[in-house]
Structure 1
Amino acid sequence: MIKKNPRRFFLAGGMAAVLSGCASKFRSYSGPEVTRIRLYKSDRLLVLDGSQGVLSTYPVGLGFSPTGHKQFEGDGRTPEGTYTIDRRNPNSLFHLSIGISYPNEADIAFAKAQGQSPGGDIFIHGGPRWGIDPLNKRDWTAGCISVTDRQVEEVYAMVRDGTPIEIYA
């Protein structure tokens, strides 16, 4: 007869649970609804608000030229103003990504008046696959908002399409 070791069984079960939790980048969230997102560019801080107050905050990286409102394609700036979350990309080159509705009508009109493109494809996303550590080199994107992979998993689970995002200088 083989004697079973309950401690070993418990440890093996615990390890299996931990490893299965690491297997997916898609998390579930059953907490309060995120009603608004605020980004404070100068503080490099992303804030998720619910109806009762702040739900979560994250340090962020921005575009490689972080000062000022995005005006043209390739300027390396992160937009400022009020937008909405309008799409998500589970197959992003940046782990996961959540789209922001830039450019709006005013952004398009301004760029057109200057004979330029306003650009687009502004996202909240995780880190790249080519070795930049988003916490050690903060402002490396082309205008997007970067967080760590683990943080974007949380944001991706918490935020729904249609959520407003206010981006402040």
Structure 2
Amino acid sequence: MRILSIVIAVAMATVLAGCSSKFKTYNGPEVTQVIVQKGERRIHMMHHGRVLKTYPIRLGFAPVGDKQVEGDGKTPEGLYFIDRRNPNSNFHLSLGISYPNEQDIAEALAMGRSPGGDIFIHGGPRKGSSADGRTDWTWGCIALTDRQIERVYAMVKDGTPIYIMP
């Protein structure tokens, strides 16, 4: 009888572990800034100048240079803010970046174009998609693995500054 109880307990623990949520909790120091280094393909979660965590990233298909117009495949550069979160993203989870700002809009309009929008930090592509396995595929967004975006989603609050560097 004791062996049966142990087997049942192990089976229940295994089932519960398989039901883990994509919504993680974070109890560490506050993330006061996010820094993206496009050239190094890294994102850093910062607490007052101290790196809490660093992750490798994937970028748009044209990663060099600042985003100027819709469809250019580039990731914007400059100071923005995390302004929304999407728990039902097509890319597992996503955090919105406040692109375009007033300057971005003015620059695009001066070229007679739209600046675009919907720039996010998000999880990976769906298995079997055309982006699966490609290095730069995000159309201007910043991509992490699904496991990494779960952690970042828990760590970063809306309103957190994000500085995207070349």
TM-score (norm 2): 0.92
**Contact 2:126-2:132 within 8 A present in 1 as well:** no
Runs (4+) off by over 6 Å: none
Matched residue, 2:26: 29
**Which residues in structure 2 correspond to 1:88-167 (within 5 Å)?**
88-129=85-126, 131-132=128-129, 136-167=133-164
Q: What residue is the counterpart of 1:19 in the other structure?
A: 18
Does the 8 Å contact 1:28/1:157 carry over to 2? yes
The alpha-carbon distance between structure 1 residues 134 and 53, as it changes in their structure 2 partners (threshold 3 A), is farther
Q: Unpaired segments of 5 or more residues in structure 2?
A: none
- The alignment of Structure 1 onto Structure 2 pairs a total of residues equal to 165
* 5+ residue gaps, structure 1: none
Query: Is 2:125–2:132's contact at 8 Å kept on the other side of the alignment?
Result: no
Q: Deviations over 1:9-44 (max 9, x none)?
A: 4522431342232xx211111111110000000100
Q: Any conservation in 2 of the 1:63–1:78 contact (CA below 8 Å)?
A: yes
Aligned-residue CA RMSD (Å): 1.8
Structure 2 residue 76 is matched with structure 1 residue 79? yes
* One-letter amino acid of the structure 1 residue matched with residue 73 of structure 2: G
- Does 2:39 align with 1:42? yes
> Taking every aligned residue pair, what percent have the same amino acid on both sides?
57
The one-letter amino acid paired with 1:53 is: R
Equivalent position of 2:2 in the other structure: 4
**TM-score, normalised via structure 1 length:** 0.90
Assess, with a 3 A threshold, how the Cα gap between structure 1 residues 111 and 131 changes in structure 2: closer, same or farther: same
CA deviation vs aligned residue, 1:64-111 (integer Å, no higher than 9, x gap): 100000000000000000000000111111111100001111110000
